[in-house]
Amino acid sequence: MISPFPPQFFILLGIDIFLGGSILVVVFDKDFPAGLPYILDFGSLIGFAELLLVPGYLQSYPIEMQFYYSVAMSILAVLSIFGCSLYALLRHRPLVAGTITIAGTIPAILGLAYFASAWLNGENVPLPAFPVLPWPVVWAVFLVGSAILLVAMVTIIRTSRKT
């Protein structure tokens, strides 16, 4: 089995999912317990510790065991994001739950499935072809997005000063 990347990549993927979930929870800080982002950050810190301390120990196992060990970290991260959306749904916050599901859970599941398939099959799954956008369109989208972000920041600052 020839894989395009080492199995420890899945630990990195789990770290990214934990950090992304932490950012999503911080965005909706009023709907979640105050300590939840720190718990998710601690999960990513455990992943970093695994990357630093485990490589010599993990190399003594067969490559399949290394894969399962590393994928367990990614699955735990995906389940934590799913738990956050489930918590929001049970607290009767369907908009928050839907946002976390769309922005966190679904991309995490699809990313994990994509990379696991690429590792197990030894080849990347082809993605659909996207049309090539001309540079003026890319710059226009960037500038419009930046303007929307600036207006949102000014609005938030003004409303926070009034209260």
Each residue's pLDDT tens digit, 112-127? 888 887 777 765 555 5
Residue 121 has a pLDDT of: 74
Q: Phi and psi of 129, rounded to 5°?
A: -75, 135
* Both structure tokens of 100: 């976390």
Query: Residue 115 in contact with residue 6, Cβ under 8 Å?
Result: no
Q: How many CA atoms lie within 13 A of 21 on its CB side?
A: 34
Q: Distance (Å, rounded) from C-alpha 101 to C-alpha 44?
A: 20
Query: Residue 54 in contact with residue 47, Cβ under 8 Å?
Result: no
Domain shared by 26 and 88, yes or no: yes
Domain shared by 90 and 120, yes or no: yes
Q: What is the pTM of this model?
A: 0.71
Domain shared by 45 and 91, yes or no: yes
* Residue span of the structural domain in which 148 resides: 131-163
Name the domain count of the chain: 2
Domain shared by 77 and 143, yes or no: no
Question: How do residues 16-63 score in pLDDT, each as one tens digit?
Answer: 999 999 998 998 888 889 899 999 999 999 988 888 877 677 777 777
Domain shared by 140 and 113, yes or no: no
Cβ neighbours, 10 Å, residue 95 = 10
Position 1 in a domain:
no
Instruction: For the chain, give the percent of residues with pLDDT over 90.
Output: 21
Domain shared by 99 and 123, yes or no: yes
Q: Phi and psi of 69, rounded to 5°?
A: -65, -45
